[in-house]
Structure 1
Amino acid sequence: MPPIRRPRPRTEPIVRVRTGCYTCRRRKKKCNEAKPVCSGCSRNKLSCIWPFDLPDEADISTQSTTTSNQSLALLCTSPSEEVPSLDPELIHASSHALIPCTPTDAISQSLSMLPGHDPESFQLLSHYLATTADCMANGSTPLNPFLVQIIPLAFGSSLLLQLVLTQSAAHRAFRSRMGADAVAVSHYTKALRSFRNGVAEFVNGGQSSSTLVLTTGALIMCFTETARGDINGSVFDHLAAANSLLSQLPLHSEAGAPGGLHDFLIEYYTYTAAVSMISIDARVSGQQLLDYGMGQRVSYLLKSNYVGSLCGCWLELLLIIPRIFDLRRQWMMQQQDNEMQPSFSADDLVLFGSLQAQISQWTPYASVSHETHMAGLVFKHSVLVYLLTSLEDPTETTGSIRQALVESTLSEALALLRQLPATARINSGLCWPIVVVGSCLSDPEQQDELRCRLTTMGNTFGLGNMYRTLLILEHMWTTTTPPTQAGPWNICRAMQRNQIWISFA
């Protein structure tokens, strides 16, 4: 067995030379003894640690607190930094005063708020807190859920924190007109890998991530695509994941979750799914983004006159969008099956009239702000245009009642938009009504009006979906000549022609 080493008596002299900082001595490097940071530590970006004078035996009792704090400052360093090993001399010198290192005893100046993350992460978190979260919410509510609900959850989950940083990186890159900069690409790649691993482990029965965390993560990825201006349709993959996860999410908030988070997730998904359906071709796809179960969950919110930071006061209108989509799909299927002149069935007309009445009777809540009220009316008229253009009659002549109603509704929607400054926060949720209205416009002055509005919105908020909304409208305005190729139901066809797949969330 190895020999037992005898502790060195206190009177025995220390052979090691007492020069240089402890970091250089540990690394066996020559130290130029410059204080407070020697050249070697400065060059290698290391913590430069120097010995402190050991007080006399008579002074130990009166200076124990000071000595303890000095010792803890050396021991309690950030996990993200290189932690130098302690010299035996330092341990020996502080043995009379050293006490256990606990968070309540002392906090080192280098203690990290984001252990394991580099300084760039601090900048991204700062950008998210100061800018990204503010641009995502429309200002309809006094509290921003992207801050008060998402951030507390993110600090308890490394996966969500990574997704938040990714969203911030994407927004910062697009806002600064850098496009896909290296930092944004790196974080996006890391976020996709982490999220996929989390989902795979969850499916296999792992417990590293809860349903709440993964659902929130899928929705954050949706808005990351919104921020970066995705044109590849990646948002629909994240929506599909969120849809599957939401079905397993309990009806009530999980214990320990931030207050209101459950309701916000329902709003988050409903808003994103509803406005994204306009990008789907009703001829080839039966929508499953908003099914009956999700509609039931939203109905609970409507009973409380829910006002959200994404849907404002028009959550009820969002539930009408999938019903109009299904009406359009059913009519197109009948048109394909009918070799002769297509006609409307009695069920089509009854459903059309019911939806038209529901939209016309809808009014914003009296409790909302003026901007939220006006934005709700903009959505109302846009949903009505979406409905009025869903059933096309080939025999319809110019100047028909339906066409006159469409033009009148478009004029009212434009008049309402003019009352909302393009720099108002409420615009962050208005891409969908703008693209619905814009797809029907043939007048160059009206087109230019929306062009200027979307440009101002993009410059103000720096969200990629605002620029992509203008991009798809420009394609429709410049290439669409026959009236039959205009309107909201041809947006998906314009996307297909130009290989641009975006969401208008």
Structure 2
Amino acid sequence: MEVVISVDSNITRANLVRTGGQTAEQICGVMGSGNPFITCILPLAHADSLVMHSVLALSGAHLIHRANNDNLRYATWTHYALAIRGLKESLTKIRKVILDEAEVAQMLAATLLLCHIEAVSGNVHGAIFHHLRASRHFALALLKKSKAQFVDGHRAFLIELYAYLALVSNVTLNLGSIDRSIPFDGFLSSLESIGENKSFGPMFGCAHGIFQLIPRVCQLGYQRRLDQQKSTPSTTTDLEYVLLEEDIENWEPEMERYGTAESPNHLLAAGQIYQYALLTFLHASYYGSDVTNATLLKKADILIERLFQLIKERRWQQIDQPKRMPAIATTLLWPYIIMGSCMREPEHQIHIRTMLLRSPFEMTIVSRALQILEWLWVDSSEYAYGPYGLEIIMKKYGVNMCMA
């Protein structure tokens, strides 16, 4: 399909250059020539105008954070509008025809890029969830059409990217919040099914074993909420909680497959941070609204201490030299927000605030996420704690975000 660009060509070229460089490297856990946003997404963009408009809008949304001006803003949101229009037209057409695998991949790439635009720009009205639901449709279609286990690494990356966004969209307990709900399809709990390809891991690093437990934790939290509403304890829920805690605590990365990675220690550190965050999320999900429970507070405090000890020992995130942060750190907003929501000590809050303020990932979403934490920390409600508190704060301030 011929690419048609109808906005200022100089801005368009500047955006594309930036996408091929800083933007691509700041939204993926791989840098350089192996970055799949460069090797996978850009070739699709050159072949399809819908993907191209999405790429340029994403680049502009990223650039606006640091170099905001009227021309750039106009170009960015014009590309965004053209992408949305193109997507609607394509959705109308596919009701009448059957897409081949390449066309499904293009549609999936476009909708995933729209998700990233909403995330990078810090949209607080839940727009990303609409795009995620559309992405899910194409991800499932691509899984169905792919006969072998993703011989094509490009398609494997698209599925991994969708899985990553769908999983980290769970930052609160989603207590009856339909507008944040993304179904947990089976492959999200068995990420090894897309992990045979050598390209697997740009978003998950070595922690796919941790990521694939997120659906179980969320389902436990939902069942626990039902138990609390009925005031009837459930031995089944209690047992699942114990089993999940053991599974997360005993997780070990398959580091042998990453022996040639540029920085395997960075991947391991990121995996451990996700491990601590998922344990925190598990405890918070189990205790639900009982956020003042002494056992919950103690377990969360211990994990927070482990987090900061890991950062101190690994020295992989230099507070005074943030530009040295490894690429995989771009995926750590979710664990930082989960654990940050459980930080009661001013010292811990200052530390996580400093890490986010000095983040080299120049995206509006980082400052918006920090603002939510600030609201949570100063709120006088005894329920303003953990993921349960995040839900309360988001509702209080009319915010609906995904920490992608």
2:74 to 167, 178, 182: 182
CA drift of 1:175 comes to 2.9
Partner SS, residue 205 of structure 2: coil
Mapping 1:482-493, distance limit 5 Å = 482=382, 484-493=383-392
TM-score after normalising by structure 1:
0.70
CA contact (8 A) 1:495 1:501 kept: yes
Higher alpha-carbon deviation: 437-446 or 416-425:
416-425
1:310 to 203, 218, 223: 203
State the partner residue of 2:369: 469
Aligned pair in 2 of structure 1 residues 175, 231: CA closer, same or farther (>3 Å)? same
Aligned pair in 2 of structure 1 residues 151, 258: CA closer, same or farther (>3 Å)? farther
Query: Larger relative contact order (C-alpha < 8 A, sep ≥ 6)?
Result: 2
State the partner residue of 2:336: 434
**1:73-118 residue CA offsets vs partner (Å, 9 max, x unmatched):** xxxxxxxxxxxxxxxxxxxxxxxxxxxxxxxxxxxxxxxx966552
Give distance in 1, aligned partners of 2:372 and 2:220: 25
Aligned pair in 2 of structure 1 residues 398, 332: CA closer, same or farther (>3 Å)? closer
1:290 aligns with 2:184: yes
Aligned pair in 2 of structure 1 residues 470, 387: CA closer, same or farther (>3 Å)? same
CA drift of 1:377 comes to 0.4
CA drift of 1:249 comes to 1.3
Q: Which amino acid aligns with 2:316?
A: L
1:348 aligns with 2:237: yes
Aligned pair in 2 of structure 1 residues 262, 477: CA closer, same or farther (>3 Å)? same
CA contact (8 A) 2:3 2:47 kept: no
**1:336-375 residue CA offsets vs partner (Å, 9 max, x unmatched):** 2x2xxx3431110111111111101112232351111111
Give distance in 2, aligned partners of 1:396 and 1:196: 43
Partner SS, residue 169 of structure 2: helix
Aligned pair in 2 of structure 1 residues 462, 412: CA closer, same or farther (>3 Å)? same
Mapping 1:125-136, distance limit 5 Å = 125-136=16-27
State the partner residue of 1:148: 39
CA contact (8 A) 2:33 2:39 kept: no
Number of residues of Structure 1 aligned to a counterpart in Structure 2: 383
Unaligned runs of 5+ in 1: 1-112
**1:230-253 residue CA offsets vs partner (Å, 9 max, x unmatched):** 111100000000111222114565
Give distance in 2, aligned partners of 1:203 and 1:395: 48
Give distance in 2, aligned partners of 1:230 and 1:258: 35
Partner SS, residue 277 of structure 1: coil
Aligned pair in 2 of structure 1 residues 398, 130: CA closer, same or farther (>3 Å)? closer
CA contact (8 A) 2:188 2:215 kept: no
Give distance in 2, aligned partners of 1:395 and 1:215: 40
**1:298-323 residue CA offsets vs partner (Å, 9 max, x unmatched):** 23134679751212111221121121
Aligned pair in 2 of structure 1 residues 192, 304: CA closer, same or farther (>3 Å)? closer
Q: Which amino acid aligns with 2:238?
A: L
1:407 to 289, 297, 301: 301
Mapping 1:221-300, distance limit 5 Å = 221-251=114-144, 259-279=152-172, 281-285=174-178, 287-296=181-190, 298-300=191-193
Give distance in 1, aligned partners of 2:159 and 2:330: 19
CA contact (8 A) 1:382 1:436 kept: yes
TM-score after normalising by structure 2:
0.86
CA drift of 1:190 comes to 1.7
Aligned pair in 2 of structure 1 residues 365, 142: CA closer, same or farther (>3 Å)? farther
Give distance in 2, aligned partners of 1:236 and 1:394: 25
Sequence identity, in percent? 23
State the partner residue of 1:443: 345
The RMSD of aligned alpha carbons is 2.9
Partner SS, residue 308 of structure 1: coil
Partner SS, residue 149 of structure 1: helix
CA contact (8 A) 1:218 1:241 kept: yes
Partner SS, residue 391 of structure 1: helix
Give distance in 2, aligned partners of 1:265 and 1:234: 20
1:390 to 261, 280, 285: 285
Q: Which amino acid aligns with 1:413?
A: L
Give distance in 2, aligned partners of 1:140 and 1:313: 16
CA contact (8 A) 1:175 1:461 kept: no
CA drift of 1:414 comes to 2.2
CA contact (8 A) 2:224 2:288 kept: no
Mapping 1:105-144, distance limit 5 Å = 116=5, 118-139=9-30, 143-144=34-35
1:494 aligns with 2:393: yes
**Structure with greater proportional helix content:** 2
Q: Which amino acid aligns with 2:376?
A: M
**1:390-414 residue CA offsets vs partner (Å, 9 max, x unmatched):** 12288898654x4322211121012
Give distance in 2, aligned partners of 1:438 and 1:276: 16
Give distance in 1, aligned partners of 2:234 and 2:334: 29
Give distance in 2, aligned partners of 1:169 and 1:120: 9
State the partner residue of 1:363: 252
Partner SS, residue 289 of structure 1: coil
Give distance in 2, aligned partners of 1:395 and 1:191: 44
Aligned pair in 2 of structure 1 residues 275, 178: CA closer, same or farther (>3 Å)? farther
Give distance in 2, aligned partners of 1:163 and 1:441: 37
Higher alpha-carbon deviation: 205-214 or 466-475:
205-214
CA contact (8 A) 1:386 1:488 kept: yes
State the partner residue of 1:162: 53
Larger radius of gyration: 1
2:227 to 328, 331, 334: 334
Q: Which amino acid aligns with 1:432?
A: W
Partner SS, residue 141 of structure 2: coil
Aligned pair in 2 of structure 1 residues 114, 353: CA closer, same or farther (>3 Å)? same
Give distance in 2, aligned partners of 1:499 and 1:488: 16
Partner SS, residue 485 of structure 1: coil
